[in-house]
């Protein structure tokens, strides 16, 4: 290499080479290819992440008492696989006399069945009257779309009915 030749350090390739317009052109093309390769890899990883999320066999939906502060009805959607399990957890304070309907109303029991319901007392608090949760478990039986409905009421005769409502559209695939 002659002393009067300009040189530059190619960051991508990590070598010192003489500056030459043809080489600069090739360097720019190489950088562009690397950028395109990185963008393509990111897109593929993004698609993979989306498919892993939606291909989940099981799902859960959680709604706290605080979510019902400003609204009386909450509607959500979820997707599970046939044979998969769906867990629905709703905030509940049974010390007030209110509780969610034990048996969820399922529009199409050929698509989805309820397998369990339980009240979960508040954990880690000694506060009297602290809210707990009610939890339902469902099993996807076959592909299709159905809905689940539940009401938060005082179940005795003359008690307030349907104070809060929860509706869930379930897509079993």
| Ranges of each domain in the chain | 7-54, 59-172
**Residue 9 pLDDT > 60:** no
**pLDDT tens-digit series, residues 60-104:** 999 999 999 889 999 999 999 999 999 999 999 988 899 999 999
**Residue 14 pLDDT > 70:** no
pTM over 0.85: no
**Residue 107 pLDDT > 70:** yes
Q: For the chain, give the mean pLDDT.
A: 82
What pLDDT does residue 50 have? 40
**Residue 52 pLDDT > 50:** no
Q: What are the structure tokens assigned to 167, written together?
A: 């509706």
SS3 137: strand
> Which range has highest mean pLDDT (14-28, 33-47, 115-129, 130-144)?
130-144
Task: Report the percentage of the chain scoring pLDDT > 90.
Answer: 51
Contacts of 93 (CB under 8 A, 6+ apart): 65, 129, 130, 131, 132
- The Cα-based distances of 29 to 9, 14, 46 in angstroms read 17, 16, 26
**Residue 23 pLDDT > 80:** no
Which CATH fold would you assign to the domain 59-172?
Answer: Immunoglobulin-like (2.60.40)
Task: Report the percentage of the chain scoring pLDDT > 70.
Answer: 73
Place of tokens 């859960």: 60
pLDDT bin (cut points 50, 70, 90) of residue 17 is low
Cβ atoms < 10 Å from Cβ of 167 = 14
Place of tokens 């048996």: 103
């Amino acid at each position: 290499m002659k002393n009067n030749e300009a040189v530059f350090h190619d960051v991508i390739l990590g070598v010192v080479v003489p500056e030459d317009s043809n080489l600069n052109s090739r360097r720019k093309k190489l950088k562009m290819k690397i950028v395109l390769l990185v963008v393509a890899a990111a897109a593929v990883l993004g698609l993979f992440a989306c498919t892993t999320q939606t291909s989940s066999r099981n799902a859960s939906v959680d709604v706290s008492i605080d979510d019902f502060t400003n609204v009386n009805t909450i509607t959500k959607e979820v997707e599970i696989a046939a044979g998969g399990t769906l867990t629905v957890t709703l905030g509940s304070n049974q010390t007030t006399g209110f509780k969610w309907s034990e048996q969820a109303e399922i529009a199409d029991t050929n698509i989805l069945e309820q397998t369990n319901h339980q009240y979960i007392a508040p954990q880690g608090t000694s506060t009297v009257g602290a809210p707990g949760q009610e939890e339902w478990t469902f099993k996807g039986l076959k592909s299709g779309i159905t809905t689940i409905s539940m009401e938060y009421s005082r179940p005795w005769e003359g008690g307030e009915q349907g104070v809060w409502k929860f509706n869930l559209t379930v897509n079993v695939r």
